[in-house]
Amino acid sequence: MLIHGSCHCGNISFTLDWAPEPAFIPARACTCSFCVKHGGVWTSCPTGALAVTVREPAKVSPYSFGTRTAQFHLCTQCGVVPVVTSRIDDHLYAVVSVNAFDDVDRALLQHGSASFDGEGEGARLDRRKRNWIANVSFPGA
């Protein structure tokens, strides 16, 4: 299944090749303060492939907080964060916002919440290596 998504103005866009075809798409509402304030609901397919395109790199602001192990790629033109990346052992991993999907039947989304309070940095990075998209093409990230 090919999933297309973007920020509101289209400056940051992505194509996620979700393989194998999902029966449902997990949509995790993160409970951290940044995601709560931005309505962050994320998904990933560890066996999939993600290609991110940025039309105007000068209008993308990477934002990190807390452990500084993830970058939220914020479009400064429209304010949307469609992609989060984490570089672990010199390898790029990512999750995407289900709110940025352009062409997915919302009935496929299986909503839940995720709290990472109390998770140490090592456990956090190990979880990302297991669960985030590992095949990521994101020029400049």
Whole-Å CA distances, 75 to 6, 36, 57, 99, 113: 10, 18, 9, 14, 25
Q: How far apart are CA 130 and CA 50, in angstroms?
A: 16
The H-or-E segment that residue 131 falls in is helix 121-131
Give residue for tokens 């940051």.
12
The pLDDT assigned to 67 comes to 83
| Verdict on whether the full-model pTM lies above 0.75 | yes
Q: How far apart are CA 49 and CA 95, in angstroms?
A: 11
Q: What is the pLDDT along the chain (141 residues), one digit of tens a residue?
A: 999 999 999 999 999 999 998 999 999 998 888 888 889 999 999 999 999 999 999 999 999 887 899 999 999 999 999 999 999 999 999 999 999 999 899 999 999 988 787 888 999 999 999 999 999 999 988
Nearest to 124 by CA among 97, 75, 99, 88: 88
- Domains assigned to the chain: 2-137 (2.170.150.70)
